[in-house]
Amino acid sequence: MNNYEEEIIDPAEVELLPETAAVLSYWDSLLQGRQAPAWEDFDFLALPLNLIPWCAVVDVDYDPRDYQYRFFGSARVRVQRTDYTGRRVSTVTPAYLSKKVAGDYDEIVTTFAPKFFRTTRRSAVNPARKLQYHFLRLPFSDDGTRVDHILSFGYFEEGQIKEMHEFFDHEV
Protein backbone atom coordinates (compact mmCIF):
# COMPACT_ATOMS: atom_id res chain seq x y z
CA MET A 1 0.00 0.00 0.00
CA ASN A 2 1.48 3.36 -1.03
CA ASN A 3 -1.02 6.08 -0.28
CA TYR A 4 1.52 8.83 0.17
CA GLU A 5 3.46 11.37 -1.82
CA GLU A 6 6.78 12.60 -0.56
CA GLU A 7 8.89 15.61 -1.39
CA ILE A 8 12.56 15.39 -0.46
CA ILE A 9 14.01 18.87 -0.18
CA ASP A 10 17.28 20.51 0.79
CA PRO A 11 16.33 22.14 4.13
CA ALA A 12 18.06 25.36 3.02
CA GLU A 13 15.32 25.70 0.38
CA VAL A 14 12.39 25.41 2.81
CA GLU A 15 10.87 27.90 5.21
CA LEU A 16 11.20 25.83 8.36
CA LEU A 17 9.16 26.08 11.52
CA PRO A 18 11.21 27.81 14.26
CA GLU A 19 11.57 24.52 16.14
CA THR A 20 12.91 22.72 13.07
CA ALA A 21 15.18 25.65 12.20
CA ALA A 22 16.68 25.50 15.72
CA VAL A 23 17.62 21.84 15.29
CA LEU A 24 19.12 22.48 11.84
CA SER A 25 21.03 25.51 13.13
CA TYR A 26 22.58 23.46 15.94
CA TRP A 27 23.56 20.69 13.48
CA ASP A 28 25.09 23.33 11.16
CA SER A 29 27.12 24.71 14.06
CA LEU A 30 28.72 21.28 14.53
CA LEU A 31 29.88 20.89 10.91
CA GLN A 32 33.23 22.69 11.28
CA GLY A 33 33.95 22.26 7.57
CA ARG A 34 32.92 18.60 7.48
CA GLN A 35 30.16 17.04 5.38
CA ALA A 36 28.46 15.86 8.58
CA PRO A 37 29.30 16.28 12.24
CA ALA A 38 30.52 13.39 14.36
CA TRP A 39 27.96 11.89 16.73
CA GLU A 40 30.34 12.46 19.65
CA ASP A 41 30.02 16.22 19.00
CA PHE A 42 26.25 16.15 19.48
CA ASP A 43 24.77 17.12 22.84
CA PHE A 44 21.00 16.85 23.26
CA LEU A 45 21.18 19.43 26.05
CA ALA A 46 22.41 22.04 23.55
CA LEU A 47 18.94 21.94 21.97
CA PRO A 48 16.02 23.78 23.53
CA LEU A 49 14.77 21.25 26.08
CA ASN A 50 11.22 21.20 24.69
CA LEU A 51 12.57 19.88 21.35
CA ILE A 52 14.41 16.81 22.66
CA PRO A 53 11.25 14.67 23.00
CA TRP A 54 10.55 15.23 19.28
CA CYS A 55 13.85 13.67 18.23
CA ALA A 56 14.76 10.14 17.21
CA VAL A 57 18.22 8.79 16.43
CA VAL A 58 19.08 5.67 14.46
CA ASP A 59 22.37 3.85 14.19
CA VAL A 60 23.17 2.73 10.64
CA ASP A 61 24.19 -0.90 10.07
CA TYR A 62 25.79 -1.63 6.71
CA ASP A 63 25.96 -5.41 6.33
CA PRO A 64 23.11 -5.81 5.70
CA ARG A 65 21.78 -2.23 5.58
CA ASP A 66 19.47 -1.69 8.53
CA TYR A 67 18.65 0.96 11.09
CA GLN A 68 18.23 0.64 14.85
CA TYR A 69 16.73 3.29 17.09
CA ARG A 70 19.26 4.50 19.62
CA PHE A 71 16.80 7.09 20.95
CA PHE A 72 13.08 7.60 20.42
CA GLY A 73 11.80 10.71 22.17
CA SER A 74 8.78 10.67 24.43
CA ALA A 75 6.77 12.97 22.12
CA ARG A 76 7.49 10.58 19.23
CA VAL A 77 6.20 7.78 21.45
CA ARG A 78 2.96 9.75 21.94
CA VAL A 79 2.58 10.24 18.19
CA GLN A 80 3.36 6.65 17.21
CA ARG A 81 2.01 5.03 20.38
CA THR A 82 5.10 2.82 20.62
CA ASP A 83 8.58 3.32 22.01
CA TYR A 84 10.97 2.05 19.36
CA THR A 85 14.14 2.70 21.38
CA GLY A 86 16.47 -0.27 20.87
CA ARG A 87 14.32 -1.67 18.06
CA ARG A 88 14.98 -1.88 14.34
CA VAL A 89 13.13 0.28 11.84
CA SER A 90 11.91 -2.96 10.26
CA THR A 91 9.72 -3.47 13.37
CA VAL A 92 7.83 -0.19 12.85
CA THR A 93 4.16 -0.80 12.16
CA PRO A 94 2.36 -0.75 9.88
CA ALA A 95 4.81 -2.38 7.44
CA TYR A 96 4.37 0.27 4.73
CA LEU A 97 5.50 2.91 7.24
CA SER A 98 8.57 0.84 8.10
CA LYS A 99 9.49 0.72 4.40
CA LYS A 100 8.89 4.46 3.97
CA VAL A 101 11.06 5.37 6.98
CA ALA A 102 13.85 2.99 5.88
CA GLY A 103 13.68 4.61 2.44
CA ASP A 104 14.05 8.05 4.02
CA TYR A 105 17.11 6.87 5.93
CA ASP A 106 18.52 5.27 2.76
CA GLU A 107 18.26 8.70 1.11
CA ILE A 108 20.33 10.26 3.91
CA VAL A 109 22.97 7.52 3.69
CA THR A 110 23.15 7.77 -0.10
CA THR A 111 23.29 11.57 -0.33
CA PHE A 112 25.31 12.10 2.88
CA ALA A 113 23.27 15.31 3.30
CA PRO A 114 20.49 16.73 5.46
CA LYS A 115 17.01 16.46 3.97
CA PHE A 116 13.57 17.78 4.72
CA PHE A 117 10.84 15.20 4.00
CA ARG A 118 7.34 16.56 3.37
CA THR A 119 4.84 13.72 3.24
CA THR A 120 1.21 13.88 2.16
CA ARG A 121 -0.69 10.75 3.12
CA ARG A 122 -4.00 9.94 1.42
CA SER A 123 -6.60 7.98 3.32
CA ALA A 124 -7.17 4.44 2.07
CA VAL A 125 -10.71 4.67 3.45
CA ASN A 126 -11.53 8.13 2.06
CA PRO A 127 -9.07 9.19 -0.71
CA ALA A 128 -10.28 12.80 -0.48
CA ARG A 129 -8.90 12.99 3.06
CA LYS A 130 -5.21 13.91 3.36
CA LEU A 131 -2.73 14.41 6.15
CA GLN A 132 0.56 16.26 5.74
CA TYR A 133 3.56 15.89 8.03
CA HIS A 134 7.27 16.52 7.81
CA PHE A 135 10.60 15.43 9.22
CA LEU A 136 14.08 16.85 9.14
CA ARG A 137 16.69 14.08 8.89
CA LEU A 138 20.34 14.88 9.60
CA PRO A 139 23.42 12.70 9.02
CA PHE A 140 26.26 12.15 11.48
CA SER A 141 29.55 10.52 10.56
CA ASP A 142 32.07 9.05 12.99
CA ASP A 143 34.89 8.93 10.44
CA GLY A 144 33.87 11.42 7.73
CA THR A 145 33.48 8.71 5.09
CA ARG A 146 29.97 7.35 5.73
CA VAL A 147 26.79 8.06 7.66
CA ASP A 148 26.78 6.22 11.00
CA HIS A 149 23.82 7.88 12.74
CA ILE A 150 20.78 9.87 11.65
CA LEU A 151 18.87 12.35 13.78
CA SER A 152 15.22 12.81 12.84
CA PHE A 153 13.14 15.71 14.05
CA GLY A 154 9.42 16.13 13.54
CA TYR A 155 7.42 18.60 15.62
CA PHE A 156 3.64 18.45 16.03
CA GLU A 157 1.19 20.63 17.91
CA GLU A 158 -1.30 18.86 20.18
CA GLY A 159 -4.11 19.25 17.62
CA GLN A 160 -1.93 17.69 14.93
CA ILE A 161 -1.25 14.66 17.12
CA LYS A 162 -4.97 14.16 17.64
CA GLU A 163 -5.57 14.53 13.89
CA MET A 164 -2.86 11.97 13.13
CA HIS A 165 -4.32 9.48 15.60
CA GLU A 166 -7.82 9.91 14.15
CA PHE A 167 -6.48 9.58 10.61
CA PHE A 168 -4.44 6.44 11.20
CA ASP A 169 -6.99 4.83 13.54
CA HIS A 170 -9.42 4.70 10.62
CA GLU A 171 -6.83 3.27 8.21
CA VAL A 172 -6.53 -0.12 9.86
Do the Cβ atoms of 54 and 76 come closer than 8 Å?
yes
Q: How many alpha carbons fall within 13 Å on the CB side of residue 153?
A: 26
What's the whole-number mean pLDDT along residues 142-146?
A: 95
Q: Structural domain boundaries of the chain?
A: 8-119+137-156
pLDDT tens digits for range 108-117 = 999 999 999 9
Closest-CA residue to 114 (of 10, 18, 33)? 10
Q: Is the pTM of this model over 0.85?
A: yes
The band of 130, judged by pLDDT with boundaries at 50, 70 and 90, is confident
Task: Label residues 103-129 b or e (16+ Cβ within 10 Å = b).
Answer: ebbebbbeeeebbbbebebeeeeeeee
